[in-house]
Amino acid sequence: MPKSRKKASVEELSAQAQFVFRGTVRQRGAATLDQVALSRETLIVGVEEILKSPDVLMDFEGMDITVQLARGQRVEVGKTYIFYTNGWLYGQGLAVQCVALSPDADVDRRKARVSLEAAPARAVQERAKRAELVVTGQVTEVREASPPAKTPITEHDPAWQQAVVAVDTVEQTASRAVRKPKPKQIVVRFASSFDVLWSKAPKFSVGQAGVWMLGDKQEGAKLRAAAGAQKSEFVVVDPEDFYPMESAEQVKALLKK
């Protein structure tokens, strides 16, 4: 990382990097994959402890991988570092690109662990910050929604439906959405399509209960327009827009922090 830039915090690095590990530099100018073009910045690193990784790559703990350093990053062969990296090539082995690294001091390792453990909670809090309204409630009705004008026939049709949600509690409001007294019910427009572009969008059925993080202070109007929704409707297409009732207490606690 260039010296002139402000050093990123552990929290920032934890958010930027998807694969964080403690590892020892074994070899410089070498790689574990044939497809990697070698340079002085190419390292073989032994992964000793994985601090953050998707499940599918957790088994790389104890194995050698390839790390491509960014310009200006310095390491010594034989020394151990905490590597903040993102994926590059996945083949016979793994190659990652280094976002940042720090010496393997206890304090840095501890900071990284704390930060990484807090990451899911931060994601919930950030979604809540953008929301126009956060409620708990239960779906009482699901119905077809009128599509936007000039909806073409396409395999990627979201197949909009409306879920009527009986509101139990209002956890958070933003100015646009403030209603007093609290709304008894809200209407949520969601994509019922099973198409690849919409399969991860939350689907709702009668009786389903949970926490809805509704609207977006910045993008809400655009989302409504694209979905052909009324101003009174909320468009829910992101997995982070809804949490099932089992997580409700946890989510509510995070909102209070």
Residues near other proteins, by CB under 8 A: 18-19, 33-35, 37, 53-57, 59-60, 68, 86-94, 97, 150, 152-156, 158, 194-200
CB of 59 to other proteins, least distance (A): 4
Structure tokens at 233: 């409707």
Q: Which is nearer to other proteins, 11 or 238 (CB)?
A: 238
Can you tell me the distance from the alpha carbon of 158 to that of 190, in angstroms, rounded to the nearest whole number?
8
Cis peptide before 181 (omega within 30 of 0): yes
52: left (phi > 0), else alpha (psi -120 to 50), else beta? beta
Could you tell me the smallest distance in angstroms from the CB atom of residue 36 to other proteins? 9
Of 81, 14, 91, the closest CA to residue 60 belongs to 91
Based on CB atoms, which residue is closest to other proteins, 199 or 250?
A: 199
Q: With respect to other proteins, which residue has the nearer C-beta, 133 or 223? A: 223
Task: Tell me the closest approach of the beta carbon of residue 52 to other proteins, in angstroms.
Answer: 10
Q: Contact at 8 Å (CB) between 255 and 171?
A: yes
φ/ψ of residue 157, rounded to 5: -60, 125
Query: Is the CB of 57 or the CB of 214 nearer to other proteins?
Result: 57
One-letter amino acid for residue 219 of the chain: E
Output 107 or 153, the one with its CB closest to other proteins. Answer: 153
Give whichever of 59 and 249 is closer to other proteins, judged by the CB atom: 59
CA distance 20 to 199: 29
CA 18 to chain centre: 10
Instruction: Give the residue with the Cβ less far from other proteins, 84 or 186.
Output: 84
Q: Kindly state the smallest distance separating residue 245's Cβ from other proteins, in Å.
A: 24
Two structure tokens written together for 204: 């709702």
Q: Is the dihedral of CA 161, 166, 172, 174 positive or negative?
A: positive
Q: How far is the CB of 137 from other proteins (least distance, A)?
A: 26
CB 237 → other proteins: shortest distance, Å? 9
Q: Please answer whether residues 163 and 187 qualify as being in contact, where contact means their C-beta atoms are separated by less than 8 angstroms.
A: yes
Q: How far is the CB of 33 from other proteins (least distance, A)?
A: 7
Give CA 148 to chain center in angstroms.
29
How far apart, in whole angstroms, are the C-alpha atoms of residue 175 and residue 179? 9
Give the bridge partners for 230, in sequence order.
Answer: none
